[in-house]
Chain A
Amino acid sequence: MTVNVSKIYLLDVATDGSVEAELRDAIEQAQLDDWQTKWRPALLTTLQELVRKGVPFDQWPQSWHWDWSKKTARVQGLLAFRGFSIVAQGETQGLAQVDLTKAAREANQRGKPLVYLEYLEVAPWNRPDLGNAPRLRGVGTALITAAVALSEDEGFKGRLGLHSLPQADNFYRKIGMTDLGQDAAYQNLRYFEMTSEQARAFFEKEENDET
């Protein structure tokens, strides 16, 4: 399989300068190796620190148990699933996996196909919610942008859906997605959707932020 690589830019928080990064439309072995050898030890250190500080379990990063090796193996070779990764400074900075077989729920687009964002995770060192200043900013937004662009490319007009982990609810509201409330059929996580109009507004904002 040919992997398409696009050049994107992230913000280096320490220098306040931009950093060139690769957006890759696949999750390959190199990214899984990074997850295993870099993300997991970094996350383990964070979890040990949370235990030491007595932080309640419900305030832990909610993706702490995610296993990207299993997630990618489960959908290997299936056209319905696609992966994205962001690589910068020689390391994997973010991963996402999408499902193309789901349909929209929002009243104005109910039943129409969308890109469903199954999983999105940013490297532990880029997550402000883990208590430290992030190294790079913009990784999560770049992965969302890639998912919305895929929706456009597939003819789904930018429609996007996802279940949000509670710690990310405000992020999805901030980028203009509609909060359709808690989903009893999906661990009571809130379900968010982006309409084609919201996708256009999202892209316009992204373009304005870049210029």
Chain B
Amino acid sequence: MTAKRTMTLNLTDAEMRVLDELSARKDITKTAVLRQALRLYQTIDARVEKGEKLLFENDATKEKAELMLL
């Protein structure tokens, strides 16, 4: 197992509520939600930095929408 470090995280009530909901719905701990979010953010950021776009496609209508990242 890789060594891990501990940090304190300050979240608003709304953020904590979302974290609780995601943790329950995805069947993972709150720490795992945040680690997953970090992985996804880094992956998306790396691809956008290379000039790629992040698109969502509606499975039924095939309509595409681009997610703009800052």
Contacts and interface: CB of A to CB of B under 8 A. Distances in A.
Interface of A: 2, 4, 25, 78-80, 100-101, 109, 111-113, 153-157
A153 B28 CA distance: 11
9 contacts: A78-B42, A78-B46, A79-B35, A80-B39, A101-B40, A111-B26, A113-B28, A156-B32, A157-B27
Nearest to B46: A78
Interface residues of B, number: 18
A113 B40 contact: no
Contact of B42 (A80, A111, A155): A80
Contacts of B27: 109, 112, 157
A155 B31 contact: yes
B32 A78 contact: no
Contact of A154 (B25, B35, B38): B35
B7 interface: no
Contact of A112 (B26, B35, B39): B26
Contacts of A155: 28-29, 31-32
